[in-house]
Amino acid sequence: MAVQDTSAQQGPLPVIIIGAGVSGLLLAQHLRKTGVPFRIFERDTDLTTRGVGWGLTLHWSLPALRSLLPEDLVARLPEAYVDRAAVARGEASAFPFFDLSTGELKGASPRAPESLRIRVTRERLRRLVATGIDIQWGKGFASYEEKEDSVIVSFEDGSACAGRVLVACDGGASRVRTQLFPDHHQRHRIPVRVLGLKVFPSPEEMEPIRKLDPFFLQGTSSQNDTFLYLSSEYTFFVILFSSNVAFDFSLPSPWLLISRRW
């Protein structure tokens, strides 16, 4: 096994980060900001491997997020917004909640300014927080070995790296966690099924929906256990429903119900 040479390195061994998703990259940015040496490894081959991904709403975590980033990246956060033009116009989401069976508006949250709540796309945020970070691509984690004063991380390509701390940022199916907790790493199944769709409506079809809210719509059906949310930038539908419910979903139905409410 070939361990990357760290003998000539001045100062302490690096912090090793497994996973260059948003969490891993935020840690890398903060370590970079504070001058702590680190290495970050990602099994994907580049930033485009995962595609666009989900939209994210950041509110109570915003102060922490901003504190982790250097000032130049904090100033560039609008680059990650779901709809930067809408924010510039002063628009904000109220996250309206509908009864999908009737189209009735059941509730909404208070609108919040950009300083307190933002909505970003995962892909844009990840690309932004990758700025200036030397990501080691194509490095699938294989195993780690603890030494007296270090940890040796081995990768699927046969290479390895020595560090002083290993941080697992490799997601819900973390391979690092699987090794650390061989008997307790399993995820728990819940009786809910999820269906995600991406559709491509015309601007005319989207107009009445965006008038309800420019960013985000959600709701449940009063007739069954279905939950749906819609993110308008990439026009994602996500439907959650109980695994013991017979579910017959016709795609135009939620559009018609929500449009009827408008």
Long-range contacts, 63-71 (Cβ 8 Å, 24+): 65/26, 68/26, 68/27, 68/29, 68/30, 68/33, 69/26, 69/29, 69/30, 69/33, 69/129, 70/29, 70/32, 70/33
User: Residue 144: what pLDDT?
Assistant: 97
Q: How many other C-beta atoms lie within 10 A of the C-beta of residue 192?
A: 11
User: Residue 225: what pLDDT?
Assistant: 76
DSSP string, 214-257: SSEEEEE-SSSS-EEEEETTTTEEEEEEETTS-----THHHHHH
pLDDT above 90 (res 19): yes
Q: What distance in Å separates the CA atoms of residue 157 and residue 136, rounded to the nearest whole number?
A: 12
User: Residue 136: what pLDDT?
Assistant: 98
User: Residue 235: what pLDDT?
Assistant: 54
pLDDT above 80 (res 87): yes
Strand partners, 193: 241
Under a CB-based contact definition with an 8 Å cutoff, are residues 25 and 126 in contact? yes
Tell me the pLDDT band of 66, cut-offs 50, 70 and 90.
very high
Q: What distance in Å separates the CA atoms of residue 154 and residue 3, rounded to the nearest whole number?
A: 8
Tell me the pLDDT band of 240, cut-offs 50, 70 and 90.
low
User: 108 or 3: whose pLDDT is higher?
Assistant: 108
Q: What distance in Å separates the CA atoms of residue 74 and residue 128, rounded to the nearest whole number?
A: 10
Instruction: Describe the strand order of the beta sheet including 135-136 as a list of residue ranges.
Output: 135-136, 38-41, 15-18, 165-168
User: Residue 128: what pLDDT?
Assistant: 97
Tell me the pLDDT band of 260, cut-offs 50, 70 and 90.
very low
Kindly give the pairing relationship between strand 151-155 and strand 15-18. unpaired
The pLDDT of 199-212, averaged and rounded, is 79
User: Residue 177: what pLDDT?
Assistant: 92
Of 27-41, 96-110, 189-203, least confident by mean pLDDT is 189-203
The pLDDT of 221-235, averaged and rounded, is 75
User: Residue 85: what pLDDT?
Assistant: 84
Under a CB-based contact definition with an 8 Å cutoff, are residues 68 and 30 in contact? yes
The pLDDT of 94-119, averaged and rounded, is 89
Tell me the pLDDT band of 51, cut-offs 50, 70 and 90.
low
Q: Which residues contact 188 (CB under 8 A, 6 or more apart)?
A: none
Tell me the pLDDT band of 262, cut-offs 50, 70 and 90.
very low
- Tokens 């809408």 sit at which residue? 86
Q: How many other C-beta atoms lie within 10 A of the C-beta of residue 194?
A: 9
User: Residue 190: what pLDDT?
Assistant: 77
Under a CB-based contact definition with an 8 Å cutoff, are residues 166 and 16 in contact? yes
Quick: pLDDT tens for 116-174.
999 898 899 999 999 999 999 999 999 999 999 999 999 999 999 999 999 999 998 89
C-alpha distance from residue 69 to each of 16, 37, 156, 166, 235 (Å):
19, 16, 31, 21, 29
Of 27-41, 43-57, 185-199, least confident by mean pLDDT is 185-199
